Amino acid sequence: MIALGADHAGYEYKEKIKNLLQSLGMEYRDWGTDSTASTDYPDYAHKVAEIVASGKAEFGILVCGTGIGMSIVANKHKGVRAGNVESIEAAKYARLHNNANILAIGARLISWEQAKEIVKIFLQTKFEGGRHQQRVEKIHSLTNL
């Protein structure tokens, strides 16, 4: 299952991501927001990060204006590795090298066409492991997060 969240700035991309996931046959759950009315991104980022940290969702996707606020909040949760991604290349490496489990994107910074490819690549790329395994472990072992 993929957990989705967005604030007002990310709402429209989140709705499009739902259609994309449906067309890919991937299960998702939407944690809001449900309109373009102004709201606070931490509410959605905390919720989605909790779901990913608990293991109830394999991945989370968060959308706000820049992706920055969402990734800052999500990375405060134990076991979460959120990447704020603005290119297809970064989406690939966020999974390959960082084993990122949350994708944060900025709807005001990238086009829907870019966002769509970023989401697809993020979800389709597997962690490379090997030398990256201990690096990823150190992300958590050297903090309490």
Query: What is the dihedral sign for C-alpha 40, 106, 32, 5?
Result: negative
Give burial (CB, 10 Å; 0-12/13-18/19+) of 136: middle
Q: Name the residue nearer to ligand RB5 (CB basis): 99 or 103.
A: 103
Residue nearest to ligand RB5 (CB): 69
Query: Among residue numbers 103 through 142, which ones bind ligand RB5 (CB under 6 A)?
Result: none
41 binds ligand RB5 (CB under 6 A): yes
Distance in angstroms (rounded) separating the CA atoms of residues 96 and 42:
27
Stretch that binds ligand RB5, among 29-37, 46-54, 61-69, 87-95 (CB under 6 A): 61-69
> Of 3, 48, 64, 115, which lies in the binding site for ligand RB5, with binding defined by CB under 6 A?
64
84 binds ligand RB5 (CB under 6 A): no
Distance in angstroms (rounded) separating the CA atoms of residues 138 and 132:
10
